[in-house]
Amino acid sequence: MYLLQAAEASSFVERYLPYAWELRDEFLEATWETIYMMLISIVIGGFFGLVLGIIMTVTGPGGILESRPVYKVLDTLVNIFRSIPFIILLALLINVTRAIVGTTIGPTAATVPIIASTIPFFARQVEIALLEVDPGVVEAAESMGSSPLDIIFRVYLREGLPALLRVSASTVISVIGLTAMAGSVGGGGLGTMAIARGYQRSRMDVIIVATILTLLIVFISQVIFNWLIRKTEH
């Protein structure tokens, strides 16, 4: 029964999505490349974005380590880099990308500008999330003699975890979108499949399949984060 259903599904895809069916092996590779770019960018960009967001939170107005000069510089840099369109950032960082990975083509090279774009975006999201932490809890921790590091780890990160997970979910979706845009300049992944193999060759079925697979990655990521958020809120 299952074999018959699988055969019918295969026949349907082969009939209505002929070009995509021919490229099924390349789609598997492209899907892995997209996941690879996403994971590398999330881990590295997420780490530095989290650190930067924490620094901005504690040095900002009313922060436990308030410093107007430090906050002003970081705030300005974040605003500048967030304002640069990603396609332009790809061009701006071409020499940096070549210096780091030795090439400007492929999924590994694409992670450099994606990370550069993710850091300021996530830093701002982290700042917004941590500012939602009840100031009364922070003041109570200070009055008990807690050090800044204790307040960061035991108050900000612990109390703000659900909010951090929410902004992380939106950041992951943003990163997936950036991987698709990187495909327009040979970054690999499903973006390259949609543009180079689909749009440029007028093969709509390839574009459709690439879009469906990208949405599937987004959906799975969202499900995982929704589960994590529910766990931390209980």
Q: What is the pLDDT of residue 6?
A: 46
- Return the exposure string of 181-218: e unless at least 16 CB atoms fall within 10 Å of the residue's CB, then b: bbbbbbbbbbbbbbbebbeeeebebbbebbeebbeebb
Sign of CA dihedral 143, 149, 154, 156: positive
Q: Which of 52-56, 58-62, 101-105, 224-228 has the lowest mean pLDDT?
A: 101-105
Q: What is the DSSP letter of 194?
A: I
Mean pLDDT along residues 52-68: 93
Summarised one tens digit per residue, pLDDT across range 116-154 is 999 999 999 999 999 999 888 998 988 888 898 999 999
Mean pLDDT along residues 188-193: 88
Q: What is the pLDDT of residue 5?
A: 46
Residue 16 makes CB contacts below 8 A (sequence gap 6+) with 205
Q: What is the pLDDT of residue 54?
A: 96
Residue 1 pLDDT grade (very low, low, confident, very high; cuts 50, 70, 90):
low
Contact 136, 200 (CB under 8 A): no
Structure tokens at 133: 């932490």
- Compute how many other C-beta atoms are within 10 angstroms of the C-beta atom of residue 151: 22
Residue 33 makes CB contacts below 8 A (sequence gap 6+) with 107, 188, 189, 190
Residue with tokens 């969202």: 222
pLDDT at 20 over 90: no
Q: Count Cβ atoms within 10 A of the Cβ of residue 143 and give its class: 0-12 exposed, 13-18 middle, 19 or more buried.
A: exposed
Whole-prediction pTM = 0.88
Torsion of CA 37, 52, 126, 225, to 10 degrees: 30
Contact 196, 19 (CB under 8 A): no
